Structure 1
Amino acid sequence: MAKAAVFAANAAVQDGAMGFKHAAGIAREFKQFAAFAKANGVKQMEYVTRELVTRYGEQLADRVSNHEIGQGQAQNAVSAINSVMRLATQGEWKSVSPTRECGIDQRSAIRETPPTGLDRAALGDGLAALSERGQAIAELAREFGLRTKETSLLNAQTALREAQTRGAIRVSDGTKGGRPRDVPLNRDNAERQLAALERAAAAQGAARAVMPADRNWKQWSENGLRAIRETLQQHGVDRLHDLRSAYACERYQQLTGHAAPVLGGQAPRGGDRAARLQIAHELGHGRSIITNSYLGASI
């Protein structure tokens, strides 16, 4: 499929329909999509559907939300797939919208709506519908603010022992830029955090991490996580990343005594800044300004 994309792009260059640099770019982006399609049982371009492209775009949307890639990069990737498919179908392809259908954030990185999953009672229905491993992934995101890759690669059994002995867990696998960090148990939520780790450790079983032992990260992210995401969506949680945002909003309340700005609150400037620095560290970010996308902007 990737080779077919190159041929289609090169033909467009020869016809004068696009420049060489643009053709090379869309072929390169399509190659990444082709690997995703193959992992999902689609090996030929004629079997590519809008649903498949949308699923790929939703995966990119999660990476944007986790600040692994930029909005522009994700939007361009979906646009490149649309371009190749239009060439391959001689204009019959109906484009997939990166923002409206895939949920890739617009250029603004300021959260303006409360995260779904903040209400624990409502979240409980979604958790109950998940498998034991799926529940572990969702709970670790909600109780510790971990990225989906971090939850998947976490050795929950080791993390449980760390939490019990030193009051914090070490997160090192799957982190942005490979930077390890400690995420503490907090006074107001320690019992719930420990319970989540106990369940995750049990779900892990004999595997080395929460992720199934018979899958690598690529296979798990393209299939297992998608099933978890879709189940949660059926119960009102828009995205796994919203559980990370819910953690951040809850921590803001705990640290400042005020609701997060996206929930209508606002701590005094000094307290707001200190809380954002702490939350940024716990989420694995080096700059507090990134908390705008979790908490809303300071007033």
Structure 2
Amino acid sequence: MKLTTTRSQRTNPNARNYGLRSRNIVVAAKNALKEKFSAKANGFKTVQSNTNHFSQFASFVKSNYGVNDMRNITAQHVQAYGDHLSQRIDSGSLSAKSAHDYLSAVNSVIEQARGDNGVRVTASEAGIPNRSDISTVNKATSTQQHKHVVANVNERLSAQLDTQRELGLRFEEAAKFDAKSALDEANKTQQVTISDGTKGGRDRYVPITQQSQIDAIKGAADIQQSDRSMIPSNMSYAEYQQQSYRELSQHQNYHSHGERHAFAQHVYQNEWAKQSGVPDIKPPVVAGFDHGCRHHQYLAEKTQMTPNEAKAMDQEVRSIVAEQLGHSRIDITNYYLG
């Protein structure tokens, strides 16, 4: 059989998986990549590696959205997958470079299958930092976007997103959050312990420094009622995650992980204000300066410190941010702060 090179050359281009000669979405993806190989648009090794990368996406959309036909894949599905990859970067299970490779494979396969780039999502749009792991684009969810989303999702998910923003929680941590116990702890000790769903199962402690944090925890506790966490007692975590992802996918360009970015930036600015007495000191990704010397110069000018003193203070503040995010490495803050 002569290999096709474009969608228009296929016998049934509007059939399941755009007529790529298989009902299996991963096999169809490999056939799409073989078309690109036939057109000399990629090499044989690329066919193999991109098929493997695409299979991860196929598993994600099937388990979370029940999608097993390329014709049903939307840009929202790819956006949600980008959010999933961002959370893997955060947890340390995936590098930014690998995340770029995974997303690139998805775009490559789907563009070839469809014959257009109608569902293409860039790494920046998906909330993935550049390959150096240093963000140059602010990925924090804005206050306006947060308010819009929480007003238009179910009340349980709305409360969960509030705790993600106020306490810096990952999606899994927020879903498994026992808000009722946390409310008691916060009122007694002015901190909350995050234990379920954490990276490596390691506890971390988030200080309670403002009323909005208490309000978010109380709102979640009121909805939790007799359940053990934010996950309804009649659902597994996987089922609740799938339901939530489906609902959030309706909000274009929204990533729940952006709430954690907002938290990290808030802690950074608050710590600088506390330690220097100067308000409104911004991290590189917000201030618009490159990570490193240019930002240290900005900090020095704002605080009347020397650049070396500003650099040392910046490292100290970043260590506090990293600790509250549940990381032992300061360099992870490059992902949130630039």
TM-score (norm 2): 0.69
Alignment CA distance shift 1:292-1:79 (3 Å): closer
1:110 aligns with 2:144: no
Q: Which residue of 2 aligns with 1:292?
A: 334
Alignment CA distance shift 1:228-1:23 (3 Å): closer
Deviations 1:236-269 (A, max 9, x none): x843223222222222232221422334463633
Q: Which residue of 1 aligns with 2:159?
A: 136
Secondary structure of the corresponding residue to residue 115 of structure 2: coil
Distance in 2, matches of 1:18 and 1:249, equals: 42
Q: Which residue of 2 aligns with 1:147?
A: 170
Is the CA contact 2:127–2:139 (under 8 Å) kept in the aligned structure 1? no
Cα RMSD after superposing both structures: 3.5
1:162 aligns with 2:162: no
Distance in 2, matches of 1:193 and 1:52, equals: 30
Distance in 2, matches of 1:178 and 1:70, equals: 20
Secondary structure of the corresponding residue to residue 74 of structure 1: helix
Distance in 1, matches of 2:270 and 2:202, equals: 26
**What fraction of aligned residue pairs are identical, expressed as a percent?**
28
- The aligned amino acid for 1:54 is V
Alignment CA distance shift 1:260-1:230 (3 Å): farther
> Larger radius of gyration, structure 1 or 2?
2
Q: Which residue of 1 aligns with 2:69?
A: 44
Please give the residue correspondences for 1:61-100 in structure 2 after superposition, counting only pairs within 5 Å: 61-63=85-87, 66-68=90-92, 69-85=94-110, 89=113, 92=115, 94=117, 96-99=120-123
Distance in 2, matches of 1:59 and 1:115, equals: 11
Please give the residue correspondences for 1:159-238 in structure 2 after superposition, counting only pairs within 5 Å: 159-186=182-209, 189=210, 191-228=211-248, 230-231=250-251, 238=254
Alignment CA distance shift 1:210-1:70 (3 Å): same
Q: Which residue of 1 aligns with 2:325?
A: 283
Q: Which consecutive aligned stretches of 4+ in structure 1 deviate over 6 angstroms post-superposition?
A: 9-12, 14-17
Give 5+ residue unaligned stretches, structure 1.
Answer: none
Distance in 2, matches of 1:43 and 1:114, equals: 33
Q: Which residue of 2 aligns with 1:245?
A: 261
Secondary structure of the corresponding residue to residue 66 of structure 1: helix
Is the CA contact 2:164–2:174 (under 8 Å) kept in the aligned structure 1? yes
Deviations 1:43-83 (A, max 9, x none): 334x3434365245333353256354222222222333345
1:32 aligns with 2:56: yes
Is the CA contact 1:170–1:183 (under 8 Å) kept in the aligned structure 2? yes
Is the CA contact 2:25–2:68 (under 8 Å) kept in the aligned structure 1? no
Is the CA contact 1:136–1:199 (under 8 Å) kept in the aligned structure 2? yes
- The aligned amino acid for 1:207 is D
In terms of mean alpha carbon deviation, does 153-162 or 21-30 score higher? Answer: 21-30
Secondary structure of the corresponding residue to residue 327 of structure 2: coil
Aligned residue-pair number: 284
